[in-house]
Structure 1
Amino acid sequence: MVGASGGLGGALARHYAVPGERLLLWGRDAGRLDAIARECRAAGALVEVRSQDLADLPRSLDALLHDDAADPIGLALFAAGLGDIRAEGELVEDAALVAQLAAINFAAPAAMAAALAERMARRGTGRIVLVGSAAGFHPLPFAAAYAGSKAGLARFADALRLAVKPHGVAVTLVSPGFIDSPGGRQVPAPPALLLSPEEAATRVADAAHRRAAHVVISWPFAALRLLDRMLPRPLRDRLLQSLTPASIR
Structure 2
Amino acid sequence: MSAAKAPLVFITGASSGIGQALAARYYAAGYRLALSARRTAEIEAWASAHALDPDRFRIYGADVAQVDSIVSAGRACIEQQGVPDVVIANAGVSIGMDSEQFEDLDVMAQTFAINNLGLAATFHPFVGPMRTRGSGRLVGIGSVAAIRGLPGHGAYCASKAGVVSYCESLRGELRASGVKVVTLCPGYVDTPLTQGNRYGMPFLLQPAEFAERAYRAIDAGSSYRVIPWQMGVVAKLLRVLPNAVFDWGVQGRGRKKRRGEQ
Whether TM exceeds 0.5 here: the answer is yes
Q: 1:96 to 1:227 in 2, by over 3 A?
A: same
Q: How high is the TM-score relative to the length of structure 1?
A: 0.90
**Is contact 1:5–1:32 with CA below 8 Å preserved after alignment?**
yes
Q: Structure 2 matches for 1:50-199, cutoff 5 A?
A: 50-70=60-80, 71-86=82-97, 94-190=104-200, 192-199=202-209
Q: Structure 2 matches for 1:20-39, cutoff 5 A?
A: 21-39=31-49
CA distance in 2, matches of 1:145, 1:159: 21
Q: Structure 1, residues 60-118: CA drift from partner, whole Å, max 9, x if none?
A: 1122123224411111111111111137xx76870111010001111111232244223
Task: Give the gaps of 5 or more residues in structure 1.
Answer: none
Letter in 1 for 2:178: G
Q: How high is the TM-score relative to the length of structure 2?
A: 0.85
* Percent pairwise identity: 30
Segment drifting more, 2-11 vs 27-36: 27-36
CA distance in 1, matches of 2:245, 2:152: 17
Q: Structure 1, residues 192-217: CA drift from partner, whole Å, max 9, x if none?
A: 52110000111111111000000001
CA distance in 2, matches of 1:173, 1:19: 21
How big is the shift at 1:154? 0.6
CA distance in 1, matches of 2:14, 2:39: 9
**Is contact 1:93–1:143 with CA below 8 Å preserved after alignment?**
no
| 1:212 corresponds to which of 208, 222, 225 | 222
How big is the shift at 1:131? 0.9
**Is contact 2:96–2:255 with CA below 8 Å preserved after alignment?**
no
**Is contact 1:18–1:44 with CA below 8 Å preserved after alignment?**
no
Q: Structure 1, residues 139-190: CA drift from partner, whole Å, max 9, x if none?
A: 1121100111111011011111121121100110000011111111232454
Q: Give the helix-richer structure, 1 or 2.
A: 1
Letter in 1 for 2:20: G
Aligned length: 247
Task: Report what 1:10 is aligned to.
Answer: 20
Task: Give the gaps of 5 or more residues in structure 2.
Answer: 1-10
State the superposition RMSD in angstroms: 2.4
CA distance in 2, matches of 1:246, 1:58: 30
CA distance in 1, matches of 2:256, 2:96: 12
CA distance in 2, matches of 1:104, 1:159: 19
How big is the shift at 1:19? 8.1
Q: Structure 1, residues 17-49: CA drift from partner, whole Å, max 9, x if none?
A: 148632110012222111222245436861100
CA distance in 2, matches of 1:191, 1:94: 25
- Answering whether residue 224 of structure 2 is matched by residue 231 of structure 1, we say no
Segment drifting more, 181-190 vs 162-171: 181-190
